[in-house]
């Protein structure tokens, strides 16, 4: 039976080499995945030679021997300092490559992210190694950005880095959630499954965004029409009313005078208004750049009425699904919680999740630790507690994910339905105020003419 030498990354993030005996290469890849490793390269061993028939694996090139070189895989660093605290494997020349600034700073649309994730998940699911899958994407994807991304990730993989480490070089493409999910897939040996889950997540985000845009289309048309009517009224009817009132010596009504004063202020000092808005935006960006500001903004997003329900239910579903997948593939609970700390993309929730993990380290059950933080609903915690007691934790978490994914779909429909009437009420209030100010002046003017 033929032998195959493999290079893979194990659950600890270490590049390992080994030899397996299998009927064919697909079976060899399956055997490596059964060891909870992500196969990077699998090559046949020459009969009677004991050497690899093709070029050496990235692990052998990096370490220069059959003993794998350890690399840190403890915690995903923040996106602002992607390589802090990590020890990457060296290339043959002695240093790991980094993408050019133009490549590392590029941004992809949701459709392009979806296409890349879907293609990579399909190739890995078909039995290809990660090295082969990225090589195929370099040739298959014709879009320049996708091709450059695939080429950079493939080169980083050849240099001995993990896929999640390479993805951190592209913070504008791969969010912390995406990178941590890929990292968890590498740790659990279920990278194809995780990538399919990410593909579904990106599709849901895109569908939500498209749904909101479609829901706002009609109100946007009303906004444009309303602004046009206001401009016409303020530049045609109002000057004539002012002229008539001056001729009759009558004072303008209070609401009409207020509208005229606001219009004059916006016309004369529009540059000041823009400056104030720009300054407020810059102050807000500076505020959320601070640790306390990120926590405050995260708490606000988590507690804002109605619209916070979508990120809440998305977190519940994503947390349960990811935790169930990780524990089902043999990842320890503490390691899984560490990977899940940044899953919400919210600093307020991240700190709460760190406290949950610390409580579990001290001996508390996960359900009790989550109940103490009060960021998950009681039903979620109760179902988790049942899973802990019955020994079917992974199955229970997947069941919880199914429940909250259905609830998420409902919340998306509710919010998409609420947005148009809310916007229309706001527009009606503004336009109604302007029209009221004009009509009250007209009524006063006509009443004065009748008396005269």
Alpha-carbon torsion, ordered 202, 203, 204, 206, to 10 deg: 90
User: 309-328 and 291-303 helices cross at what angle (nearest 10)?
Assistant: 100
Cα–Cα distance measured from residue 383 to residue 376, given in angstroms and rounded to the nearest whole number: 11
Quick one: pLDDT band at residue 409, thresholds 50, 70, 90?
confident
Q: Looking at 124-128, 200-204, 368-372, which range is the least confident one?
A: 200-204
Cα–Cα distance measured from residue 378 to residue 385, given in angstroms and rounded to the nearest whole number: 10
SS (H, E, C) 349-413: HHHHHHHHHHHHHCCCCHHHHHHHHCCCCHHHHHHHHHHHHHCCHHHHHHHHHHHHHHHHHHHHH
Query: Would you say 230 and 428 are in contact if contact means Cβ atoms under 8 Å apart?
Result: no
The closest of 179, 184, 185, 202 to 116, measured between CA atoms, is 202
pLDDT at 12 over 60: yes
Quick one: pLDDT band at residue 109, thresholds 50, 70, 90?
confident
pLDDT at 15 over 50: yes
Helix (H) or strand (E) holding 6: strand 3-9
Give mean pLDDT, residues 364-391. 92
Q: What is the DSSP letter of 66?
A: S
Helix (H) or strand (E) holding 242: helix 238-248
Q: Do domains 101-201 and 216-452 have the same CATH topology?
A: yes
Quick one: pLDDT band at residue 44, thresholds 50, 70, 90?
confident
Say which CATH architecture domain 216-452 belongs to: Up-down Bundle (1.20)
* Three-state secondary structure call for residue 52: strand
Angstrom CA distances, 195 to 52, 121, 184, stand at 30, 5, 11
Per-domain boundaries in the chain: 3-63, 101-201, 216-452
Residue range 258-293, pLDDT digits in tens: 888 888 888 888 899 899 999 999 999 999 999 999
| Residue 383: predicted pLDDT | 93
For residue 310, how many other CB atoms are within 10 A of its CB? 17
Query: Would you say 61 and 155 are in contact if contact means Cβ atoms under 8 Å apart?
Result: no
270: left (phi over 0), alpha (psi -120 to 50) or beta: alpha
Residue range 58-106, pLDDT digits in tens: 433 333 333 333 333 333 333 333 333 333 333 333 334 455 555 556 7
Give mean pLDDT, residues 29-58. 64
> Position of tokens 């498209």?
210
User: 393-451 and 254-268 helices cross at what angle (nearest 10)?
Assistant: 110
Cα–Cα distance measured from residue 82 to residue 96, given in angstroms and rounded to the nearest whole number: 14
Tokens found for residue 152 = 């950079």
pLDDT at 55 over 80: no
Cα–Cα distance measured from residue 325 to residue 331, given in angstroms and rounded to the nearest whole number: 9
Residue range 322-346, pLDDT digits in tens: 888 778 777 788 888 888 887 777 8
The closest of 174, 211, 171 to 194, measured between CA atoms, is 174
Greater confidence (299 vs 83) lies with 299
N- to C-terminal Cα separation, the chain: 112
* Beta strand pairing call for 3-9 and 38-44: antiparallel
Tokens found for residue 319 = 């947390």
State how far Cα 180 lies from the chain centre. 11
| Residue 221: predicted pLDDT | 85
| Residue 282: predicted pLDDT | 96
Cα–Cα distance measured from residue 378 to residue 370, given in angstroms and rounded to the nearest whole number: 10
Strands (E), 10-71: 15-21, 38-44
Query: Would you say 448 and 250 are in contact if contact means Cβ atoms under 8 Å apart?
Result: yes
Query: Would you say 51 and 4 are in contact if contact means Cβ atoms under 8 Å apart?
Result: no
In the chain, what percentage of residues exceed pLDDT 70? 83
The chain-wide mean pLDDT, for the chain, equals 78
Say which CATH architecture domain 101-201 belongs to: Up-down Bundle (1.20)
Cα–Cα distance measured from residue 281 to residue 286, given in angstroms and rounded to the nearest whole number: 9
Tokens found for residue 370 = 């989550």
Cα–Cα distance measured from residue 272 to residue 286, given in angstroms and rounded to the nearest whole number: 21
* Three-state secondary structure call for residue 9: strand
pLDDT at 421 over 50: yes
């Amino acid at each position: 039976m033929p032998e195959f030498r493999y290079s893979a990354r194990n659950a600890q993030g270490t590049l390992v080499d080994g030899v397996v005996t299998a009927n064919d290469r697909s079976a060899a890849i399956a055997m490596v995945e059964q060891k909870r490793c992500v196969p990077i390269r699998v090559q046949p061993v020459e009969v009677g030679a004991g050497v690899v028939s093709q070029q050496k694996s990235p692990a052998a090139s990096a370490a220069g021997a059959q003993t794998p070189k350890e690399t840190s895989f403890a915690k995903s660093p923040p996106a602002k300092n992607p390589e802090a605290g990590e020890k990457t494997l060296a290339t043959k020349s002695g240093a790991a490559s980094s993408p050019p600034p133009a490549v590392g700073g590029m941004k992809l649309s949701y459709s392009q992210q979806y296409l890349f994730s879907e293609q990579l998940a399909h190739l890995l699911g078909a039995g290809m190694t990660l090295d082969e899958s990225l090589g195929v994407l370099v040739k298959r994807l014709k879009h320049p950005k996708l091709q450059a991304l695939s080429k950079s990730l493939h080169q980083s993989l050849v240099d001995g880095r993990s896929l999640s480490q390479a993805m951190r070089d592209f913070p504008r493409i791969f969010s912390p959630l995406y990178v941590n999910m890929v990292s968890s897939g590498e740790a659990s040996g279920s990278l194809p499954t995780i990538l399919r889950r990410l593909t579904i997540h990106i599709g849901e985000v895109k569908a939500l965004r498209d749904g909101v845009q479609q829901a706002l289309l009609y109100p946007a048309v009303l906004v444009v029409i309303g602004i046009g009517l206001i401009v016409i009224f303020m530049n045609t009817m109002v000057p004539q009313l002012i002229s008539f009132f001056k001729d009759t010596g009558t004072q303008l009504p209070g609401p009409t005078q207020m509208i005229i004063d606001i219009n004059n202020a916006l016309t004369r000092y529009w540059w000041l208004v823009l400056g104030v808005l720009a300054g407020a935006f810059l102050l807000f960006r500076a505020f959320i750049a601070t640790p306390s500001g990120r926590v405050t903004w995260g708490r606000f997003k988590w507690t804002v009425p109605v619209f916070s329900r979508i990120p809440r239910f998305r977190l519940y579903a994503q947390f349960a699904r990811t935790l169930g997948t990780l524990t089902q593939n043999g990842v320890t609970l503490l390691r899984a919680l560490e990977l899940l700390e940044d899953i919400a993309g919210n600093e307020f929730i991240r700190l709460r999740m760190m406290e949950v993990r610390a409580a579990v380290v001290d001996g508390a059950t996960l359900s009790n630790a989550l109940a103490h933080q009060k960021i998950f609903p009681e039903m979620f915690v109760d179902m988790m507690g049942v899973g802990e007691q019955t020994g079917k934790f992974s199955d229970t978490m997947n069941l919880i994910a199914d429940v909250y994914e259905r609830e998420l779909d409902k919340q998306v429909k509710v919010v998409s339905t609420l947005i148009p009437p809310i916007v229309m009420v706001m527009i009606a209030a503004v336009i109604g105020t302007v029209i009221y100010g004009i009509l009250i002046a007209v009524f006063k003017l006509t009443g004065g003419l009748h008396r005269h």
